Amino acid sequence: MQSNSSMRTPLGRVRGLGSAKSGTGHFWLQRLTAVANLILTVIFVFIVVALVGKPYPAAIALLSHPLVAILMLLFILSACIHMRLGMQVIIEDYVHEEGMKILAVMANTFFAIAVGAASVYAVLKLSFGG
């Protein structure tokens, strides 16, 4: 009889899934958004620096350019996803009571959606001449 020191089921070993069934996906999504944030944050900073001291119509003119608006929307999307994932890890590690953990993860998700939606609205409003 073969000794198996793993606590995983045979199907779990084949699929490579942990107990939560999504740990690897979460890990890679966090790394992917981190790399995207490096690139998109540099672009965001360049755009903000380009607008320093410029009047409001100049900001509208710059954000009306489709490429700039798309880059800003990608920055918002990547940053909000990364923020939600990072806070979820912190909540799961440090909130031990199950009910509070579920509420905190839900609140974290709603907060990330609210921040993302408000930011997307602002960029779209400015990019369409608002």
Q: What whole-number percentage of the chain has pLDDT above 70?
A: 82
- The enclosing domain of 32 has a CATH number of 1.20.1300.10
pLDDT for 12-44, tens place per residue?
Answer: 556 555 555 567 888 999 999 999 999 999 999
Q: 5 lies in a domain?
A: no
Q: 3 lies in a domain?
A: no
Q: Is the pLDDT of residue 125 over 60?
A: yes
Domain count of the fold of the chain: 1
Backbone angles phi, psi at 8, to 5 degrees: -80, 150
The domain of 74 spans 22-127
Q: 49 lies in a domain?
A: yes
What is the Cα 44 distance to its own chain's centre?
16
| pLDDT confidence of residue 24 | 87
Rounded (5°) CA angle 36-41-46: 135
Q: Is the pLDDT of residue 100 over 80?
A: yes
Contacts of 75 (CB under 8 A, 6+ apart): 37, 40, 41, 43, 44
| pLDDT confidence of residue 3 | 56
Work out the average pLDDT over 3-14: 62
Question: What is the distance between the alpha carbons of residues 26 and 126, in angstroms, rounded to a whole number?
Answer: 33
What does the CA dihedral 70, 38, 120, 122 come to, rounded to 10 degrees? -100
Question: Other C-beta atoms within 10 Å of 34: how many?
Answer: 13
Question: What is the distance between the alpha carbons of residues 113 and 121, in angstroms, rounded to a whole number?
Answer: 12
Question: Global pTM?
Answer: 0.79
